[in-house]
Amino acid sequence: MSVSTAFEKARADGRAALVGYLPAGFPDVAGGIEALRAMVDAGCDVLEIGLPYSDPVMDGPTIQAAAQQALEGGVRTTDVLRTVEAVAATGIPTLVMTYWNPVERYGVERFAADLADAGGAGLITPDLTPDPDVAGAWIAAADRHDLDKVFLVAPSSTDERIAMTTAACRGFVYATAVMGVTGARATTSDLAGPLVARTRALSPSGADLPIGVGLGVSNGDQAAEVASYADGVIVGSAFVRALLDHPDDRAAGLRTLTALTEDLARGVRRA
């Protein structure tokens, strides 16, 4: 199921969609599935499941710590797909967010087929731009398996690249609100609004391609602010932080996660 269905539903409700991220295998595979399901129950509209990777150049310390813990716990690519299957079974559109090398190593076609079999919606690829010489194999495999292709635009992107990127996206386009890595920030970025406006204007399908804004959002007020101009509010590090802060008490971690999800879900409805 394409994530665009969730965006359409949110749009019909006159609000933005809440997109939540957690890496698979954190704190362990079963605990990760439980946490992701708690996020579904508390109001996330779309979930992104991170594939933990040894060299995550776009991630700040919070997500790095979670990914490293997952890798030290022995998480495998197959565990990520297993997590997708368990979460997608709830009926919520579920994407995998991954650096490129693990997909290439698994086999691009095989990964696309297994992701589709698991009920996954598609991929977000932070280090794979849709330039044909770079992403051609993935784009072809995604098209064969009807998967979403979520590429990123940044404040530094030229108009030409935003047009090219939005043309290649399926599901939504991920607008990185700040020039920097993932991580909760005290204030939202003043670069995000203008980027969303440019992206909307340059997207060949116009308003039909939803725009999700990520990097830095950690509470309902920030979510409400982003929801006032974007179609989706993407939250990652704040969710990870909720679990990292309770290493020895998973129940407390899940309660914090649920409360945060509810706060953010109210936020996207407030705009």
Partner 1 sequence: MTTHVERPTDYDADEHGWFGGPETGWGGRFMPEALVAALDELTVAWHDAMADPAFVAEFDAILREYAGLPSPLYLAERLSAKVGARILLKREDLNHTGAHKIRNVLGQALLTKRMGKTRVIAETGAGQHGVASATAAAYFGLDCTVYMGAVDTRRQALNVARMHLLGAKVVPVESGSATLKDAINEALRDWVASVDHTAYLFGTAAGPHPFPSLVRDFTRGIGDEARQQCLDRFGRLPDAIAACVGGGSNAIGLFTAFLDDPDVAIYGFEPGGEGVDTPRHAATIHAGARGVLHGARTYVLQDEDGQTIESHSISAGLDYPGVGPQHAHLAATGRATYLPVTDDEAMTAMALLSRTEGIIPAIESAHAIAGALRVAERLGEEKGPEATVIINLSGRGDKDMGTAIEYFGLGDPDQVTEEPVGEPEGAQE
For position 68 contacting partner 1 by CB under 8 A, the verdict is yes
Q: Which of 26-34, 116-124, 128-136, 218-226 is the region at the interface with partner 1 (rule: CB under 8 A)?
A: 128-136
* Candidate list 21, 106, 138, 239; residue touching partner 1; CB under 8 A: 106
Is the CB of 186 or the CB of 251 nearer to partner 1?
186
Inter-residue contact 124 to 182 (CB < 8 Å) = no
For position 134 contacting partner 1 by CB under 8 A, the verdict is yes
* Candidate list 117, 143, 146, 158; residue touching partner 1; CB under 8 A: 158
For position 167 contacting partner 1 by CB under 8 A, the verdict is no
For position 133 contacting partner 1 by CB under 8 A, the verdict is yes
What span, in angstroms and rounded, lies between the C-alpha atoms of 179 and 198?
16
- The 83-102 site mask, x for binding partner 1 (CB under 8 A), equals -----------------xxx
What span, in angstroms and rounded, lies between the C-alpha atoms of 24 and 75?
8
CB of 86 to partner 1, least distance (A): 19
Taking CA atoms, 66 is separated from 62, 70, 78, 158, 254, in Å, by 7, 6, 18, 33, 15
Is the CB of 6 or the CB of 128 nearer to partner 1?
128
CB of 220 to partner 1, least distance (A): 26
Q: Which of 115-123, 153-161, 205-213, 235-243 is the region at the interface with partner 1 (rule: CB under 8 A)?
A: 153-161
Inter-residue contact 24 to 80 (CB < 8 Å) = yes
Token look-up 């957690």 returns: 22
CB of 35 to partner 1, least distance (A): 22
Is the CB of 165 or the CB of 261 nearer to partner 1?
165
For position 194 contacting partner 1 by CB under 8 A, the verdict is no
Catalytically active residues are 48, 59
Residues 6+ apart with CB under 8 A from 110: none
Is the CB of 178 or the CB of 234 nearer to partner 1?
178
Residues 6+ apart with CB under 8 A from 120: 81, 84, 85, 88, 94, 95, 96, 147
Inter-residue contact 87 to 36 (CB < 8 Å) = yes
Residue 212 pairs in a beta bridge with: 174, 232
For position 127 contacting partner 1 by CB under 8 A, the verdict is yes
For position 146 contacting partner 1 by CB under 8 A, the verdict is no
Which residues of the chain form beta strands (DSSP E)? 17-23, 46-50, 94-97, 122-124, 148-150, 152-153, 173-176, 211-214, 232-235
Residue 84, both tokens: 């997708």
According to CB under 8 A, which residues from 2 to 61 bind partner 1? 53-58, 60-61
Residues 6+ apart with CB under 8 A from 92: 6, 40, 44, 45, 46, 47
Single out the residue of 271, 270, 268 nearest to residue 44, CA to CA.
Answer: 268
For position 72 contacting partner 1 by CB under 8 A, the verdict is no
Name the site residues for partner 1 (rule: CB under 8 A): 53-58, 60-61, 64, 68, 71, 76-77, 100-106, 126-129, 131, 133-134, 151-158, 161, 165, 176, 178-181
